Amino acid sequence: MSDCIQLVQKLAEEHRLTLAEYETLLRERSDALAAALREQAVRVRQAIYGNAVFTRGLIEISSYCKNNCFYCGIRAGNPKAERYRLTPEEILECCREGWTLGFRTFVLQGGEDPFFTDEVLCPLLRQIKQEFPDCAITLSLGERSRNSYQALFDAGADRYLLRHETADKEHYAQLHPASLSWEHRMACLTTLKEIGYQVGCGFMVGSPGQTERELAKDLKFVETFRPAMCGIGPFIPHRDTPFAEQSGGSVELTCYLLSILRLMQPNLLLPATTALGTLDPIGREKGVLAGANVVMPNLSPVSVRKKYALYDNKICTGEESAQCRGCLERRMQTIGYSLVTDRGDPKQI
């Protein structure tokens, strides 16, 4: 225990640990260590971001996907998944509503839907940028070619969120079919950075086959890759996937990791994800109190929200966008934080 407290201290001061030290910190996890990490993480986050929490309006543009990730409810191989795609005009309408509500970042996320070619996306991105020049656009549309990433960037996309899912090649193969390669996903992240995007990576917590060893590798990867953002959330099984019977991740471990990530990279943009809120009614509050500084309320039309089902029991599927924002606003106020109307770029330190 006292050794581990020293590791917390070392992480807070040097912002890095060895792979073995990360693993030790994870294996020795206890309430006392979690509290020590949380305390430091909140102090560090407070010094940079104060009690401001950034918001991103999440627009789930398509539930069509050509991939077959074993964990995901909208995988191509799930015949029960309900499919929809928003039209560019519907997406713009979400942005308009979002802007009025105070969002200055729009996240366009979806399955890998061949409908959304560069020819469809680029004019849309230009239009969003033209109507909302004070807003940032984040894309989260999976793996694409370098040319495509470049074209989308040139059309106005500022950020790209592509979770690496796991930094361990063998573990990646347990979560994905052979048609998807770990090398390619990692190469995409490098390409995105080279192009000039603010890049987000990330991983699920508690995915099948994940041990402290894999998580330590994830931490080491984030430490060396230095993303602008890192999205982590508990794995939650979906009933119509090969992982239906697997157990899910925990809120406590996710919060523990959020604190470690905050200390590792003090200015990192760290969302308290919807998956946290799904597992625990106050999961997102716990995430912020562990060091997160971003929330991503749903801006999608209510009619499609249930259909964008990556996992079971997703929250906020019945609420209007204004209610989603208002609800999070109150939740954050309750714990002494406030949502800000801001693009929410990383602070340079």
Residue ranges binding ligand SAH (CB under 6 A): 71-72, 109, 111-112, 140-142, 162-163, 165, 204, 233, 235-236, 238, 275, 310-311
CB of 149 to ligand SAH, least distance (A): 13
Q: Which residue is nearest to ligand SAH (CB)?
A: 142
3-state secondary structure of 105: strand
Sequence-distant (≥ 6) Cβ neighbours of residue 269 within 8 angstroms = 54, 200, 228, 229, 230, 293, 294, 344, 346
Distances (CA, A) of 106 to 150, 175, 182, 300, 320: 19, 28, 28, 11, 16
**Angle (deg, nearest 10), helices 251-264 and 283-290:** 30
Structure tokens at 38: 């949380």
Sequence-distant (≥ 6) Cβ neighbours of residue 159 within 8 angstroms = 105, 136, 137, 138, 139, 197, 198, 199, 200, 228, 229
CB of 250 to ligand SAH, least distance (A): 12
Q: What phi, psi does 302 have (nearest 5°)?
A: -55, -30
CB of 282 to ligand SAH, least distance (A): 18
Task: Rank residues 162 and 258 by Cβ distance to ligand SAH and give the closer one.
Answer: 162
Task: Rank residues 141 and 155 by Cβ distance to ligand SAH and give the closer one.
Answer: 141
- Closest by alpha carbon to 331, among 291, 298, 302, 288? 288
Task: Rank residues 112 and 218 by Cβ distance to ligand SAH and give the closer one.
Answer: 112
Structure tokens at 46: 């407070």
CB of 133 to ligand SAH, least distance (A): 26
Sequence-distant (≥ 6) Cβ neighbours of residue 131 within 8 angstroms = 92, 95, 96
Task: Rank residues 102 and 242 by Cβ distance to ligand SAH and give the closer one.
Answer: 242
CB of 15 to ligand SAH, least distance (A): 25
CB of 260 to ligand SAH, least distance (A): 18
Task: Rank residues 40 and 314 by Cβ distance to ligand SAH and give the closer one.
Answer: 314
Task: Rank residues 72 and 124 by Cβ distance to ligand SAH and give the closer one.
Answer: 72
CB of 70 to ligand SAH, least distance (A): 9
Task: Rank residues 21 and 165 by Cβ distance to ligand SAH and give the closer one.
Answer: 165
Q: What is the gyration radius of the CA atoms in the chain, in angstroms?
A: 19
| Burial of 172 (C-beta count, 10 Å sphere; 0-12/13-18/19+) | buried
